[in-house]
Structure 1
Amino acid sequence: MSLFKHPVSSIKLLLGAALIFSQAVAANGKPKEIFWEDLIPKGHVQIETSAQANHEGSEQNWIQPDIEAPVVKELDGQLVSLPGFVVPLEGDDETITEFLLVPFFGACIHVPPPPPNQIVHVTIKDGVPIESLYDAIVVTGVISTKGWSGEIAQVGYSLTGIGVAPFEL
């Protein structure tokens, strides 16, 4: 199944993203491939988030854990690639321009959100057409340790996206 809905729009978007990506790579080098554990500072004991929701009315169930979880300052300004799942925030019926990238499907929607250092706020200027929000993706862009706060979660990292691709094992 294709990640992109409209082939012509996807080709234009991919060509534009490829140009921006190549400029970023030329300026910053090859993206550093990171994973969720790389967003936790060494020595920090992370409070585990349960991936199971309890819908029995407990307000405590929906409180974000480890709200003061620290970020890895050394990542600030680096060109990175990070796999994850999308929690859409802004866009239209064809593209998403702003979303949260989370380590597991359903985070921030059906379960308490992960700690802030396990959520990345992503913006992509021209948007990305995404067909299935159930599929894992890889986002490439410049990461910042400047956080973000919204109704559903407090976030430890921001990322200005320059590319999105399907995640492949």
Structure 2
Amino acid sequence: MPSAFPSFSSRRFDSMRRPSFLLPVLLLASSLSHAEPPELDWLELMPEADRQALEDMPDIVHDTPETDGDFTARGGLKQKSRSLPAVMYSAKTVPALDGREIRLGGYPVPLENDGEGRSTTFFLVPYPGACIHLPPPPPNQIVLVRYPKGFRVDDISLPLWVDGRLRVEKISNDLADAAYAIDASGVEVVEEEGL
């Protein structure tokens, strides 16, 4: 299972010629106004025991009806087969992450749109096509994102940055079970130079 989302380089501020006594003040003000939350890696959402179990897991065979695109009739991102290792069903979380402002990169699985066709609620997953490939990520690798402003999803294979407050929150609907939620303050498509 693909796990870690690629790390992206942070933005750098151009240096300007200013009086030397203003430089520290300008740098602090600039970094505060342009600060991004700390980037979180997908594997950090899993307790250590789950990470180790994932590393030790044997290869998974993808010979089920869902591989032919029949995932909606089978439940979407929900695990249907009980023959996989227990880590693939894990909703165990990392309590220390609850309430942290974070930045998480991933791929959208749209759920709800506003009247103008912008996605306001979606699942964020660590790899593209998670809604049609088997096995789907475990619940502790699926994050429900609430973004009332909404954004247009033109291509679910384009990576996104989601900034906001992470919550340990169990969510279950017809499509998936998730162990975390983010009330997003910002959502943006990752530009190629950000990879």
Q: Distance in 1 between matches of 2:147 and 2:46?
A: 24
Deviations 1:52-92 (A, max 9, x none): 463279x7x95276323411111100100000000000005
Q: Secondary structure at the match of 2:154?
A: coil
Partner of 1:90: 112
Q: Tell me how far apart the structure 1 counterparts of residues 123 and 60 of structure 2 sit (CA, whole Å).
A: 18
* TM-score of the two chains, using structure 1 as the length reference: 0.71
Match of 2:179 in 1: 156
1:138/1:73 CA distance change after superposition, 3 Å:
same
Q: Structure 1: which 5+ runs fail to align? A: 1-24
Q: Which has the larger Rg?
A: 2
CA contact (8 A) 1:33 1:82 kept: yes
What pairs with 1:28-67 in structure 2 (closer than 5 Å)? 30-44=36-50, 45-47=52-54, 50=60, 52=62, 54-55=64-65, 62-63=79-80, 66-67=88-89
Q: Tell me the TM-score normalised to structure 2 length.
A: 0.62
Shift in CA distance, 119/53, structure 1 to aligned 2, threshold 3 Å: farther
Count, aligned residues? 141
Q: Go from structure 1 to structure 2 and tell me whether the alpha carbon gap of 1:79 and 1:151 turns closer, same or farther (over 3 Å shift).
A: same
1:50 deviates by 4.8
Distance, in Å, in 2 between the alignment partners of 1:160 and 1:51 is 35
Q: Which stretches of structure 1, 4 residues or longer, exceed 6 Å deviation after superposition? A: none
